[in-house]
Structure 1
Amino acid sequence: MAELQKDFLFVLIKSLTTSEKRQFKLYVNRLGINVDAKFLLLFSELDKMKEYDEHIIIEKKISTKQQLSNLKAHLYKQILVSLRMNPSHQNYRIQLREQLDFANILYQKGLYKQALKILDKTKQSALELDEKSIASEIIDLEKVIESQFITRSIKGRADELIQQSTEISKQNHYATELSNLSLRLYSEMLMHGYVKNDADREKVLELFNDQIQKIKLEKLNFTEKLWYFKAHVWKNQLLQDYKYTLKYAYQWVDLFHKKPEMILSHPVWYIKGNTYLLKILFLYGNIDILEEHFENFNAMVNSQNFAQNENLQALIFLTHYNTLMNIHFVKGEFFTGTKLIPEIEMKMEKLRERIDEHHFMILYLKMAAMFFGSKMFGKSIEYSMKVVECKGNVQEDLLFHTRILILMAKYESGNDEDYDEFINSTLKFARKMKKPEAFHFESIQFFKNINNLVLSRQQESFKAFDKVLEEFSKNEYYRRSLLYIDIHGWVKSKIKNVDVIEIIKQKVRYKRKK
């Protein structure tokens, strides 16, 4: 994967469908370019390659090493132009910009009234779709035309443009403030993870309140409300306040359901909103509500009206299969869950260039947990090691909890050949973490001790660790740590001498009664 990502042109060509390749060749021929034009020869050669190899291109004299960079840049641009013309990639945003381009061309030809007619129609569409950035560009061009030329197009035109410009400027200001806040909170979550103490909490609240107090919800349009709800979701996720994360995730999704046409305009944010909603419902463990929303999500994204492209397919894939596995986890249906794995891996391979490493590792961890619940401990360790050995940028918490799962699997399987060595490497890893917690070291110490005890004494160790986990569960800052891998449920199953599936089913019955 890393090798392919080094050459963007090669990755782009490999992402093309058969119809997109055919259209590119038709587009090139329409230009009247000779069929043996160098960039077309380069396209054909790269299309045939399984892995990018610059030496082959030079050996076949398609290009010299000195010219290759420019030739690749030219080919890259021509492919993008061809894709832009493809109906499957046409969306309302591209269409609005295309109309704006047409108006610019008419303006430059001196056909001012024709330009203004296109601009007025396009502006109305942009405002209806809440595309204020494009609407603002349209108004700027209208101002240029009206101020340079006496068109006498509409009486009171200047006042109208000033009013529209002022209103859009206010809305754009709100959108900028809220999007900046959302991005800061999201960055905070990626860089530092969830709050670990009161000082972290105060830092997040200060950052949030400083911006949000300036915003009045009732003055916001669709896009600003969307950013408003996003900011609240990410803030409450950082604070591990799941009640309010759920509240604002609901409002995020409901915003689209109240204005369904916006689902077509902003399909990515519709999917993302559902991703957070389904994720928080999983953490709550209420299977009935989770399955209901999952069914609604699938119905919408698989409907004929829903936009389709490679980016959306990747996002839908992640939301669908993460949620499907979560449902099997909540129900304790591990054997059923393992049957999904070949199907998931096949789709992962197809989407390898469109999904980042971290999301892949989350899927592998869930697969490993499925194998663990199915008592296939060797497979659980095998899939866990895919995460541990990953060279990409993966969150520390994910890596640590994968190591805990490996220790659980090693204990269950009796495979203790490198048990002590793995304990030591996990301890070194924990010490290097940015913000190691007491939970990390207590967990490592438990697994270190348990392997040195005779069977009759192990039960006492499980009971003692259960009390430690009970104390951690009362602390709001450790709540998240206990959700990655259900180590607490596993410990309780050992104490009660029952299968961990029984512990999970008891939780499900409890949630359903509520």
Structure 2
Amino acid sequence: MPNRSTDELFQLIKSLEKSEKRNFKLFIKRASGDDDLKIVQLFDALDKMDEYDEDSLLKKNKAIKKQQLSNMKAHLSKQILASLRTLNDDKNVEMQLNEQMAYARILHSKGLYLQSLKMLDKIKQLAYSHNQNTSLLLALELEKKIELLHITRSIKDKAESLSEEVEIVNNHISLQNKLSNLTLQLYGWYIRLGHVRDEKDVTAIELFFKTNLPNVKDLELSFYEKLYLYQAYSWYNFILQDLRMFYRYTQKWLDVFIAHPEMQKVEPVLFIKAFHNLLSAHFDTNNFEKFNEVLEQFETFSKSKIAESSANIGIQVFMYLYTAKINKHFLEGTFTEGITLVPYIEEKLEEYKLHVDTHRVLVFYYKIACLYFGSGDNEKAIDYLNKIINRKSDLRTDLQCYARLLHLIAHYELGNDDLLEYLLKSVYRFMANMKNLSIVEEAIFSFLKKSFKLSPAKVLVEFRKLKNQLEKLENNPLETRSFLYLDIKAWLESKIRNVPVQVVRRERFLERK
């Protein structure tokens, strides 16, 4: 697991593409003072390092003194960011608007009020067309200031129309902020706790959502207001495990981007996330045809100019595209075939280790472990599950719990009887402490405890009993989570029939086709 406490400047340099590094060198040459030549040396030294090591840096670069290093790094960071701004100004709407606002203010400070107003008109048009309400408000406030302080011979009733326009934009910004805050808080809830575990959780999340959801009835919503509203409902229903409503709002989330294609370039990461969540909704509901249809759309997008426009967007596409590809193998029951994706995923996780968050890495490890478990390679499954279990993290307690449960079952499959008694107590205690024990998990633990003392024939009877017991719980909303994380029914059927898990999954898939 990558160490994320590395140097920030080192991270910045390692995030640069070849064209950006070349642009930085050209940018520095235009000034080429002594200080700038020294920071180029520092840049090159850091660029050559695989891991940040300050002692090694100073030892190999005698011209760089330890007492100067802090100031040099600050100066280098500032220059890199300045060079990136010149390179990316035309790609980012917000940066364009910020630059034009700076020009409008300069014109205003020079007393060129009419020229400043012309610039503000251009800013407003660009902001309106790309739903950038904050930039629009800044432009309106400067326009107000000019109208208040100077005679511009502007159109009649300008003051009233400006005031009304500011009021409308302020209302949109306020609503947008409330909805985006709600979305962020719900996402934070899910990252910390996962799905609801009991009626107490259900009551808490329902109360929180209803208390914080703004009244949007009868309002004409802007792009961002719709986007954050659909995101909020998506996370809310996902946490509640209401998969039908989760699908409905993830579809709306994607649809708002389809209705506003210009915003795909402005908010590419949220567009990518819309694909990911809609794919997850189809996966969770076993809707293979729709899953395949959306995956094809996502793969087409992954080759578009937007998807290839920056390293960050490329990383997001990789993460969600390969999550979906693994999920496709789960749906099809082709676990062994899915394992062929693992070397490439590992290679990319190493390449992107400074940029991929811990939560996403752990999800990949769990999914890879499930691929190996489903294909019958329990030892490799345990290797990946250990990467989750041994990672100290307060993220996704549910992921930590199910990793331990699958780890226990994998050891059961291997017949590691000397470990099982200890693991049973350890995993049960962990899940109980995390308040993560549902009826399904309690039933699994009860079965595993009994199985030690039973003959093979009697174990088979208990497998059938457990399968029947769990089938009755499938439609219980509070038990949905257990079946999403671990296809325990497929495992039980595989034990009853003495076939690999992937055979059971494959037969299910072929029956549905």
CA gap of 1:140–1:125, structure 2 versus 1, over 3 A, is: same
Matched, 1:291 2:299: no
Aligned to 2:165: 164
Matched, 1:90 2:91: yes
Structure 1 residues 330-341: aligned runs within 5 Å:
330-341=331-342
CA shift for structure 1 position 482: 1.5
Q: Percent identity?
A: 36
1:437 shift after superposition: 3.4
CA contact (8 A) 1:286 1:511 kept: no
Compared CA separation, residues 307 and 124, structure 1 to 2 (3 A): farther
More displaced stretch, 281-290 vs 1-10: 1-10
If asked which structure has higher relative contact order (CA below 8 Å, sep 6+), I would say 2
Rounded to whole Å, the distance in 2 between the matches of 1:365 and 1:163 is 53
> Which residue identity is paired with 1:414?
G
Stretches of structure 1 lacking an aligned partner (at least 5 in a row): none
Deviation at 1:32, TM superposition (A): 3.0
Alignment partner, residue 492 of structure 1: 493
Cα distance between partner residues in 2 of 1:32 and 1:168: 45
1:241 aligns with 2:242: yes
The number of aligned residues is 512
Aligned to 1:20: 20
1:201-350 residue pairs with structure 2 within 5 A? 201-212=202-213, 214-216=215-217, 218-304=219-305, 306=307, 308-350=309-351
Equivalent-residue separation in structure 2 for 1:429 and 1:225 (angstroms): 40
Give the Cα separation in 2 of the matches to 1:87 and 1:136.
Answer: 24
Deviations 1:19-55 (A, max 9, x none): 2112111111112323774323222221222221222
Q: 3-state DSSP class of the match of 1:397?
A: helix
Q: Following TM superposition, by how much is the alpha carbon of 1:229 offset from its aligned partner in structure 2, in angstroms?
A: 0.6
TM-score scaled by length of structure 2: 0.94
Q: Secondary structure at the match of 1:6?
A: coil
- Give 1:368 shift: 1.4
SS in 2 for 1:158: helix
Corresponding residue number in structure 1 for 2:142: 141
Distance 1:208 1:35 in 2: 54
In 2, are the aligned partners of 1:286 and 1:508 still within 8 Å (CA)? no
Q: Please list the CA deviations of residues 387-444 of structure 1 after superposition, one character each: whole Å capped at 9, or x if unmatched.
A: 2222344422112222222233223333445333333332332233144434434333
Q: TM-score, normalised by structure 1?
A: 0.93
Cα offset, 1:62, TM superposition: 4.2
Give per-residue Cα distances to partners, 1:108-161, cap 9 Å, x unaligned. 222221111111111111011111111001111111122121122433322221
> For 1:257-280, what per-residue CA distance to the aligned partner results, in whole angstroms no more than 9, with x for missing partners?
122112112111111111110001
Which residue in the other structure is 1:429 paired with? Answer: 430
Deviations 1:35-84 (A, max 9, x none): 77432322222122222122234444444444432322221111111111
| C-alpha contact 2:104 2:117 (8 A) present in aligned 1 | yes
State the superposition RMSD in angstroms.
2.2
Question: In structure 2, what is the Cα distance between the partners aligned to 1:501 and 1:190?
Answer: 29
Q: Partner of 1:69: helix, strand, or coil?
A: helix
Moved more, 172-181 or 278-287: 172-181
Task: Tell whether the 8 Å contact from 2:179 to 2:214 is kept in structure 1 after alignment.
Answer: no
Residue 46 in structure 1 maps to residue 46 in structure 2: yes
- Give how far 1:353 is off: 1.4
In the other structure, the counterpart of 1:7 is 7
Structure 1 pair 341–210 and aligned structure 2 pair: CA distance change class (3 A)? same
Note the 1:401-420 alignment, pairs <5 A: 401-420=402-421
What's the offset of the Cα at 1:304? 3.1
1:307 positional shift: 6.0
Q: Go from structure 1 to structure 2 and tell me whether the alpha carbon gap of 1:461 and 1:388 turns closer, same or farther (over 3 Å shift).
A: same
2:121 equivalent to 1:120:
yes
Q: Distance in 1 between the 2:512 and 2:212 partners?
A: 37
**Contact residue 358 and residue 393 of structure 1 kept, 8 A:** no
| Aligned counterparts of 2:334 and 2:204: Cα–Cα separation in 1 | 40
CA distance in 1, matches of 2:194, 2:88: 41
Deviation at 1:493, TM superposition (A): 2.3
Deviations along 1:324-378, one digit per CA (max 9) or x if unpaired, are 1111101101121011111111111111111111111111111111112222222
- 1:49/1:497 CA distance change after superposition, 3 Å: closer
Report runs of 4+ in structure 1 exceeding 6 Å deviation. none
